[in-house]
Structures are given as C-alpha cells and as structure tokens.
Structure 1
Amino acid sequence: MRRVDLGWMRVFVEVGRAGSLSEAAHRLNITQPAVSYQIRRAEGEFGVALLLRKARGVELTPEGRALHDILTRAVTQVDALAEALRPQPRRKTLRLCTDYAFSSLWLMPRLHLFRAAHPELELQIVALQHAGTRAEGEMAVVFASRAELGPEAVQIMPEAVVPVCAPALRAGLPDGVLPDAPLIHLDAEPGAIWFDWTSYQRTLPRARDPRRARGDLRCNTYALVIEAALAGQGVALGWRGLVDRLLARDQLVEAGPELTNPDRGYFLVANAPHDAGAEALCSWLRAEAGLPSG
C-alpha cells in the first residue's frame, strides 16, 4: 500500500479553518501560491477535490470535510505534545523580603493586582520577623529610621500609630480611660525603634493606673496582635497603612489619639542590579503607596 505524503497537512487544516487561501497564507506566513500548491498535492494524494473554489474564499467538499476533521484533531494533538516536550524558558523570579506585618496586612490584600498586570513574572515573598538583610539584586520593604538607610531608600509609609480595638470593646470604654483598658503588646527585642505602649503612653495626659488596669496580652508577631484586637481581646497600636483597610470596613475603630514619627517607617530598598521586572515591582509598590513614579 502506498503511504500518503503528509507534508501538506497543516496547510490544509489552516485553509479549512480560515475558509480562504489568502487568509491561510497570512496565518502561516507563506505565500498564497505556496498554499495553492500544497492543496493540489493533497488532492493529488486522494484523487478527489477537497475544496470548492468560490467567488469569496473556499469551501470544503464532503470528502474534504471528512479529511479536515481527522487532521484537525491530529495537528492539535501534535502541537500540544510539542509544547509539552519543549524545554520551557525559566521565568524571571523576583524576590521581595519584608516583615510579617507588612506582608500580611498591606501586601497580600493587593498583590493580585501586580500579578494580574505581570503574569510573566514569578514572585517570591520572604516574610521575616525583621527584614534587615538582603542578597545581591533583592528588594525589600523594611521598617527603619531614615538615618539607617542609604539615600536610595524610598519611604513608602511614615510611622503613624493610633490605638485600635473592636467596635464592641470601644463602646464599653468611656472617653479618656484608654490607659485602663486591656492592652495588646507586640513583643520585641530591647531597643526596638518603633512605637510601643510604653513610648505611646508617655504622650497621654494621664498615666495608666496599674491598680485599675485589666490583664494585658502579649504576642510575638504583629499579625497576632491585630487578630487579638479583632477578636475584642484588648486595644492594640495600629500602624497607619497596615490597619487602614480594617478601619475603613469598621472591623476596627480608633480608640485614642494618633502619634507620628516622620523619620521612621517602611522604606523600599533594593540592591543593584535592577532589571525590567524589578523596576515594574518598584513602580507598583510606589504607586500603591500613593507615591509618584520615578
């Protein structure tokens, strides 16, 4: 039995899909005479007409339709197999280091926006208790004072804290008695540079009376501090930017005056070299923080 020469298969399938020799030529990036030649070869192989030439385009004959159905499945399966077998180019991986608080409360609720805009990039988020060290080429969002970082660091969130608690707990706290409420503390190493309840209470007109204060709660991560506040366990210090979404939804409410330190806060830092992916992530972080680009 003489075997059929199959070199024309893809051309025939594309002509059937397009319904036009010229459109098939355009899709295959070959000339129309080359398409016509391959169709003649196919018709010569089977000894029957496979296409009907019309004023506008072409139409498959019944024999052509039967052949087209078989070949479309075959060509599609071959293309799928080839795609699966070819080595896939490794996608660029961007690594961003930050702390637990920033990653869980600020970054994750909006990260889908960056991923939708840049599906070609693979992003690795490394959350640490304190994101202070980075490898070559890595980016980080760190809480620090301006003096600690170089001139290239960009402040995306100045430090501003406000006491926050669950609405039901706030309703039971008369104005001016915040020092007597149960407080939720973030455990930190000695010498931590951010506000804590000790430094915050120094700014209040009345010191906390230990005899009237109810039992406090201590947590080793800021995410746990906020979870405890949401559950009505006490009053926490809420960092602007991190708790804004919860305040806007009335899941938390303010329970005292704001305290700020514009020389501290979250800074975006990056170790050279930069590439297009890193620049895209930096620009997105700046935009989400409300900063101008560049």
Structure 2
Amino acid sequence: MPVRSPSLVELNAFLAVARAGSFRQAAQELHVTQAAVSRAVLRLEQELGQAVLARSAGGVSLTPAGTQLRQLVEKPVAALQAAAVRMRKTPERLRLRLSVVTSLGALWLMPRLEAFHLLHPEVEIEFRQYHHDEDFTRDDIDLWIAIKRSAPQRWPRHIAAQYLIGREVVAVCTHERARTAQTAPLLLAQPLLYHSNFPDNWALWAQAQGAKLPLQRKGAGFDLVMNLIEAARSGMGVAIVQQCLAEADLASGRLVIPVPGSASTGRGYFLCRRRAQDAHPAAELFAQWLMQQAGAPPTV
C-alpha cells in the first residue's frame, strides 16, 4: 500500500512556521537551518498540490488550506510525539522546571495538574519561585507562565511568548449582593473591589458596558487576587477579576456574574520560553497540554 501522507519532518516544519509566524523562528525552534525548514514546507506543498503558507515581505501567514491542515494535524502530531516519549524502551524521568504567577498557579493551574500527571507520569515538575520583576535571564527555569502587565509591553527578544488565558475581566459578587446589582449602573453603585496593581480594570469594564464609572466610588484594593476573591466571597462588594481565576467559585455558586459581559485588558497570562532553548521533551509535552487546557471549558 503506497504511503500518501506527508512525513513528520514536513508536518513538524509546517507546524513550527504556523506557530512562530516566520521561517527563521521556526528553524530556531527546531534547531535546524532556515533553508531546511523552507525545503520541508515546499515538499509538503508539492505533495498536497496547493500552498499552505502565504509568503510576503511582511512575513508568513496561513492560507485557507494551511489553516485547515493545521486544525487536522496539530493534535495528532503532538500525540505521536507524546507516544514516542512514553514508549521509549528505557523510560526516563523527564524534569520540567516551571515558574508560574502565584495567583494563576493556585487558582487555575493546580486544580488541573493531576490530569497532566495522569497523562504524563514520566514528567516531573519542579516549581520555582516566581519573580514579579522577572527579566527571563535565569537558567534554572525551562518555562514561565508570566503576566503581561500592560497592553503595549514587549517581551525580551530572546523570549518566545504565546498568549494563554486571562485577557478578559468580569464583575463577580455573592448571590445576595447580585440582587441589587443587576444592571451596570446599579452594579457600579456598589463597593467596587479591585486589584491594586490594575486599578483601571473597573474603568475598562464600565466602558465596555456603556456605563459611567462614578467619580467618587467606594471599595477596597488588594495586591493579591486570592484576597480580592475572598473579599468578594465575604460580601464586601463586587470584584473585578479575570474569569479564569474565579472559575471554581463561579462553578460552585459561591460567586456569580450579576451583569453579563466582560472587558478586554489587553494583558493576560503568557507561556514563555527561551528561543534558543535546546530540545526539551518535557517542556513540549507540558506546553501542548497547557494550551489545550486554556481552550477547554472550565473544570468544576
């Protein structure tokens, strides 16, 4: 039976370009030359009989056929790579050194982590201290999950950053307080709880709702999201938070979203790694799983 499918070399080259948006960055990711990546993608296009990448002076983008191909092969290729790691004749203990923003780690990642261990028991994760002033020069970290602190912020050139989750903020409170906060103006008359590092979140939410933020508002600020959510649970007011950080409270009914709608901060959490990092199977397995979790429905 003749083999009609493209090779894994060609598919991996295509997927790397699709993720990175350039042949140069894809070559760095795969630790091969840019010419090798270009040749592999060209062979793929010749086998398929159509272009999967649109090349221009401004960069590389997916054609409609390329978008369809990525959707069809990305998960199967990742599954094959994971299977190869797990089925080695002499399985090795793979170590991943991870640094995670404290709030996201405690409220979003930890409840999911057992699922990763069940899928990949060969991977050992070591959590390292997260630095709020991180400059990404540490050599004791393989992956970071870091927060983008402002919309215009640029990551260091040696870091590849991929958006994960947390760009949207919502208003949350208890059922009792929600009874008197069922419209945007009524909600904004409540005590407004906020993260002290991001005091503009309420203004963004009000603008998204077409409402006016009171000039003399009341409410408290907190420097930890966990304390902000606890204050909302206790009935102190309405909190503005990233929905992913309140998902357990929303699923259990401890908190509700009294007024539907969210606002984009342009920030959020990003998965970061060094562009020049050597091949790291544990990091690849975790990154693929993490991106799937970010796109999955919340867990209860």
CA gap of 1:198–1:260, structure 2 versus 1, over 3 A, is closer
Q: Is the Cα–Cα contact under 8 Å of residues 98 and 131 in structure 1 kept in the other structure?
A: no
Confirm or deny that 1:181 pairs with 2:181. no
CA gap of 1:268–1:131, structure 2 versus 1, over 3 A, is farther
- The C-alpha deviation readout for 1:153-206, integer Å capped at 9, x for no partner, is 211125111111111111233533112101212122xxx5x8523444455523
Tell me how far apart the structure 1 counterparts of residues 295 and 262 of structure 2 sit (CA, whole Å). 20
Deviation larger for 231-240 or 131-140: 131-140
Q: Is the Cα–Cα contact under 8 Å of residues 153 and 267 in structure 1 kept in the other structure?
A: yes
Compute the displacement of 1:268 (Å): 0.8
Q: What pairs with 1:1-294 in structure 2 (closer than 5 Å)?
A: 91-126=93-128, 128=130, 130=132, 132-134=134-136, 135-136=138-139, 137-144=141-148, 145=151, 148-149=154-155, 152-157=160-165, 159-175=167-183, 176-188=185-197, 195-203=200-208, 204-208=210-214, 210=216, 215-256=218-259, 257-261=261-265, 263-271=266-274, 272-290=277-295
Aligned-pair Cα RMSD in Å: 2.9
Gap runs ≥5 in structure 1:
1-88
Tell me how far apart the structure 2 counterparts of residues 174 and 241 of structure 1 sit (CA, whole Å). 22
Tell me how far apart the structure 2 counterparts of residues 124 and 100 of structure 1 sit (CA, whole Å). 14
CA gap of 1:96–1:169, structure 2 versus 1, over 3 A, is same
In the superposition, the TM-score normalised over structure 1's length comes to: 0.58
- The C-alpha deviation readout for 1:121-170, integer Å capped at 9, x for no partner, is 22122454737343235211112147513583211125111111111111
Q: Is the Cα–Cα contact under 8 Å of residues 202 and 213 in structure 2 kept in the other structure?
A: no
Identical residues among aligned pairs (%): 26
- Give aligned pairs, total: 195
Gap runs ≥5 in structure 2:
1-90
Q: Which amino acid aligns with 1:162?
A: V
Residue 80 (structure 2) aligns with: none
Residue 21 (structure 1) aligns with: none
Q: Is the Cα–Cα contact under 8 Å of residues 174 and 233 in structure 2 kept in the other structure?
A: yes
Q: Secondary structure in 2 aligned to 1:141?
A: strand
Tell me how far apart the structure 2 counterparts of residues 129 and 228 of structure 1 sit (CA, whole Å). 25
Compute the displacement of 1:238 (Å): 2.2
Q: Secondary structure in 1 aligned to 2:270?
A: strand
In the superposition, the TM-score normalised over structure 2's length comes to: 0.57
CA gap of 1:163–1:266, structure 2 versus 1, over 3 A, is same
Q: Secondary structure in 1 aligned to 2:178?
A: helix
Q: Show structure 1 runs of 4+ deviating over 6 A.
A: none
